[in-house]
Amino acid sequence: MSDEKLEGGTGAPAVSFEQVSKNYGAVRAVRELTLHIPRGRAIAFLGPNGAGKSTSLEMLLGLRKVGSGRIEVFGKSPRQAMVAGHVGAMLQSGGLPQDVTVREVLELMSRLHPRPLAVDEVLRRANIADLADRKADKLSGGQTQRVRFAIAIAGDSDLIVLDEPTTGMDVENRQIFWTAMKAEAARGKTILFATHYLEEADQIADQVIVINKGRLLANGTSADIKAMAGFQRVSFRLPGISREALIDLPAAVTIDVVGDRVQIQTSDSDKTFYALIDQGLRPMDLEITALGLEQAFVAITERDNGDDDGKAEALTMEDAR
């Protein structure tokens, strides 16, 4: 069987996880994770520290054994997909070799791939032509990250996996990096990236996957995730109010009362606001703000952490619509 093409069947998703679990002793790092990632999209993989992102990505790359369940990459096992050159990766840690230039590093790495890009093309795509003749071990943290991204794309792979690629980059390096990454996505590559920079995920990702405590919490567009969390925050002052008096407000997702300050996350701020008025209440210093992805992420993970029956119900795109 030739590995030149994606024989997993043209319909096979880029990545599928079926009921995947992984324990480290007593730590349940990944729990019954089922995911399907279509081809040609940029997907943000989000979760708080310790949620199981790196473990999932390492299993997907064939670097860590799957505990139970099944992972397929273009219809193949992770290892087969790796060997066939379908996957390029940039992991969280990993330095660059000493005493060689960036160009030499890329030449070396290209030899590991069955169908590498020309090194000049990699330098161009990763926007690091200016670093080509610099010694690889003498670069700044942000420059090192950009060279590591170049290594990830050097094989012209169909799937590019990036684990917190912009850690340590300043704003300028991050912008250069995301421009290069978006260009790869525009070439039809599937890009799966874990990040803690949620604003960037919001701008760049076609699809957002959120995991918490090793389980799938949400899977949809950025707008879907915001809708799941409650789209807006209504905040006002109302002296003497109790949380109990507000508990039946329509569309309210969470209600917090601290002193005379009330904060409500709502999926429909008009409905919530008019219900307040209908109850004869007169809120003061009213503010209505849209939730960003970061606030939505915090809201859904906090809600899940407060869910003490231990069972998370994954929210999907269908739920949000």
Identify whether the C-beta of residue 73 lies closer than 8 Å to the C-beta of residue 159.
yes
Output the smallest distance, CB 251 to ligand ATP, in A. 32
Options 14, 20, 43, 52; binder of ligand ATP; rule CB under 6 A? 52
Q: How many residues in the shown chain lie near ligand ATP by CB under 6 A?
A: 11
Output the smallest distance, CB 26 to ligand ATP, in A. 9
Output the smallest distance, CB 255 to ligand ATP, in A. 30
Question: Smallest Cα–Cα separation from 145: which of 197, 198, 95?
Answer: 95
Identify whether the C-beta of residue 14 lies closer than 8 Å to the C-beta of residue 190.
yes
* Site for ligand ATP contains 98 (CB under 6 A): no
Burial class (CB in 10 A: 0-12, 13-18, 19+), 100: middle
Angle among Cα 186, 176, 194 to the nearest 5 degrees reads 70
Dist CA 96 CA 236 (whole Å): 53
Residue 158 vs 163, nearer CB to ligand ATP:
163
* Site for ligand ATP contains 2 (CB under 6 A): no
Contact region for ligand ATP (CB under 6 A) — 21-29, 67-75, 106-114, 256-264? 21-29
Output the smallest distance, CB 67 to ligand ATP, in A. 11
* DSSP three-state, residue 18: strand
Options 51, 161, 204, 315; binder of ligand ATP; rule CB under 6 A? 51
Contact region for ligand ATP (CB under 6 A) — 49-57, 128-136, 148-156, 285-293? 49-57
- Type and span of the H or E element at 204: helix 198-204
Residue 72 vs 163, nearer CB to ligand ATP:
163
Phi-psi region for residue 51, left (φ > 0), alpha (ψ -120 to 50) or beta? alpha
Residues engaged in binding ligand ATP (CB under 6 A): 24, 27, 29, 47, 49-55
